Amino acid sequence: MNRDRKTTQRRIAILGSTGSIGTQALEVMAEAQEPWHPVLLTAGKRVAPLLKQVHQQQPECCVVIDPDDLSAFETAGVQGTDLRVGEQHQLSAIAELDLDLVLNGITGAAGLRASIATLEAGIDLALANKESLVTAGSLLKSCASASGARIIPVDSEHSAVMQCIADSDPATIRRILLTASGGPFRGMTRDQLKDVTIEQALQHPTWKMGPRISIDSATLFNKVLEVIEARELFGLPPDGIEVLVHPQSIVHAIVEYQDGSSIAHLGEPDMRVPIRHALHQGTRAAGQFRPLDLIQRGQLTFEQVDGATFPALEIAQVVMDHPGTTLGAVLNAADEEAVAGFLSGSVGFLQIYQLVEKALQQHSPEDLVSLEQVIETDRETRERVRSWYL
Ligand SMILES: NC(=O)c1ccc[n+]([C@@H]2O[C@H](COP(=O)([O-])OP(=O)(O)OC[C@H]3O[C@@H](n4cnc5c(N)ncnc54)[C@H](OP(=O)(O)O)[C@@H]3O)[C@@H](O)[C@H]2O)c1
């Protein structure tokens, strides 16, 4: 490692650079006052947008895991960029490139190994990939405490909670309230949900995101993942974390303290804001955003979650009740597979709940001890869920 750099440039890896979080992170970096260098860009399969980024950003290394156009990637011949294929190269590049920060914007449990590799290498992790904490929170936290690296939340609600806590004593927190927009189907009945289409489910009312998180926002499984993420990040028991439906997505989270004060974080829905906060590590760097106009907004409303229609929180209660077990990996893998089935037209919207519930019921939880155990649980669960609908 070369820590004697001549410039003050900060060296960053953007994992999942072609996705919704990845592209917004590159936008935020482009506006920064201090010099950033995207040293490593990675993506899952889409070679064309990745190579476009490589030409613009000129990273030292670029990795694609399972390219959709291997020959275009191999023959791209970008001067100064080492082009590699396969997950192992993503992991070795994280360890070798003398990075200051890794932003993990990979979708799904596919991001877990990279999170662990980052923390093991003692590099701060700006974490959008909530699945890492849901599937293996205790392992991530032990890696972070062993190496001294930090886990910095990028998810808007968790960035909001972190800012509401600031330097307050965590022991004085009574409750965290996480808000949910309610998704595109808020107000519908179970009967109406039977026939919703993929296109309707992807139309999130307030955020523009990748397909998996958009469907999870429609079922409310995204909020389940976020409650678990909050538990891992802020150390509160699940009954200290509540979910409120707030259709305008202006209040991102509220932290209630034992002295009766409740601190809320507000802003127009814009992921560039929490990404900027994570990249600049709390220095309030200037950047583009949509200013909050509360007069024009007129009203901020709050409702209880309709658990009878959207039973995600209830189905996942067993996961909340057994922290530090393989149930988190089962929940995530079952939901990822069910969502993939929905997006391919093989699974109905309401069937997503059934598949996740059945996977949780059929699993005998074990205490989390290793990354291999999480990966094996993930693999077994996916196989089982696929066998139920394919
Ligand atoms: N989007 C948001 O506003 C938002 C907000 C909060 C949290 N998050 C979280 O951020 C994460 C990413 O969400 P997203 O909406 O940005 O997803 P997305 O738009 O679907 O992008 C996913 C990215 O991950 C890449 N990828 C897939 N498998 C990979 C692998 N094995 N290794 C490296 N890269 C891989 C994809 O590459 P290809 O393009 O080649 O497929 C793409 O670049 C999720 O955990 C989500 O829950 C997102």
258-264 — which CB contacts under 8 Å span 24+ positions? 258/172, 258/173, 258/174, 259/172, 263/164, 264/164
Is residue 230 within 8 Å of 161, Cβ to Cβ?
yes
| Pocket flag, ligand 1, residue 45 (CB < 6 Å) | yes
> How far is residue 172's CA from residue 35's CA, in Å, rounded to a whole number?
38
Distance 210 CA to ligand 1 centre (A): 6
| Pocket flag, ligand 1, residue 104 (CB < 6 Å) | no
Partners of 244 in the β-ladder: 179
Distance 218 CA to ligand 1 centre (A): 17
Q: What are 266's two structure tokens?
A: 């507000």
What local confidence, expressed as pLDDT, does residue 5 receive?
52
Is residue 114 within 8 Å of 88, Cβ to Cβ?
no
Angstrom CA distances, 61 to 53, 65, 218, 268, stand at 12, 13, 36, 35
What local confidence, expressed as pLDDT, does residue 323 receive?
95
What local confidence, expressed as pLDDT, does residue 1 receive?
41
Distance 243 CA to ligand 1 centre (A): 24
What local confidence, expressed as pLDDT, does residue 196 receive?
97
Atom in ligand 1 nearest the alpha carbon of residue 207: 3
pLDDT in tens, 259-281: 999 999 999 999 999 999 999 98
Instruction: Write out residues in the chain with pLDDT < 50, as ranges.
Output: 1-4, 6
Domains of the chain by residue range: 10-153, 154-186+222-306
Distance 17 CA to ligand 1 centre (A): 8
What local confidence, expressed as pLDDT, does residue 2 receive?
44
Distance 139 CA to ligand 1 centre (A): 21
| Pocket flag, ligand 1, residue 110 (CB < 6 Å) | yes
| Pocket flag, ligand 1, residue 220 (CB < 6 Å) | no
| Pocket flag, ligand 1, residue 130 (CB < 6 Å) | yes
CATH classification (class only), 10-153:
alpha beta
Which pTM does this prediction carry? Answer: 0.97
CA 73 to chain centre: 27
